[in-house]
Amino acid sequence: CEKKLRVLLDMDQVLADFELGFFQEYRKKFPDYPYIEMQDRVGFFVKDQYEKMFSYIPNIGNAVAKIYKTKKFFLNLPEIEGAVDAAKMLAKMEGVDVFICTSPIEKYKYCLAEKYEWVDKHLGPEWVGRIILTKDKTMANGHLLIDDKVDITGAIERPSWEHVVFSANHNMKTDIGKRRRLDNWTNGDWKELIEDFKMR
Ligand code: U5P
């Protein structure tokens, strides 16, 4: 129906905890390498910050990338607190259509299938049909995009959606301009956000 509010939920760091999964695996695989505490993460890409901070280690970038290129990394990501419950409630709300809009990594082999598996396992099989996989989220048509990445650009200069920034350690110090934030799925703010958008 034309009047439904179409909500696009990003996956990594909005539903699935990429940063925590990364940190734990990195510490396990490279216990002798230096690391960045999760609360000190700045900027979207983990690899960029590690390469900058630990440039004296020639292959630090490869070590970082190896973590998320590994089989089962995406599948085993823990849930962001409250995300799965909120997403399920959101999907049941009158006048709302929910989709998951997520970008795969370039080494897509495990990532692609494991994103589907994660959704199936944590949200349920009926959610698999709601997945939009794209590197260019401006091509996805919706009213609201909840995403932790601050810079979301692509082929369409003025996307249909309004971007609400989901708070993450890496974006807390980043200027988000006039955009709104959603800090978490646990304090109920998301319900107000949805009601605001439904009234437009
Ligand atoms: N990603 C990285 N490196 C990072 C953080 C995220 O490669 O440091 C990946 C995510 O796993 C995802 C993509 O595949 O970049 C960004 O997706 P999205 O959160 O914009 O959907």
| 19 Cα–ligand 1 center, Å | 10
Q: Which atom of ligand 1 is nearest to the CA of 45?
A: 8
| 18 Cα–ligand 1 center, Å | 8
| 98 Cα–ligand 1 center, Å | 21
Whole-model pTM over 0.90: yes
Active site residue 136: no
pLDDT at 1 over 70: no
Average of per-residue pLDDT across 141-167 = 98
Residue 63's pLDDT is: 98
d(CA 170, CA 91): 28
Task: Name the β-bridge partners of 182.
Answer: 166
What distances in angstroms separate CA 135 from CA 5, 12, 102, one per listed residue?
23, 13, 8
Residue 115: CB within 6 Å of ligand 1?
A: no
Task: Name the β-bridge partners of 6.
Answer: 97
Q: Which atom of ligand 1 is nearest to the CA of 111?
A: 14
Average of per-residue pLDDT across 93-112 = 98
- pLDDT tens-digit series, residues 122-146: 999 999 999 999 999 999 999 999 9
pLDDT band, very low/low/confident/very high, at 3 (cuts 50, 70, 90): confident
Q: What is the average pLDDT score of the chain?
A: 98
Q: Which helix (H) or strand (E) holds 180?
A: none
pLDDT at 86 over 60: yes
Active site residue 10: yes
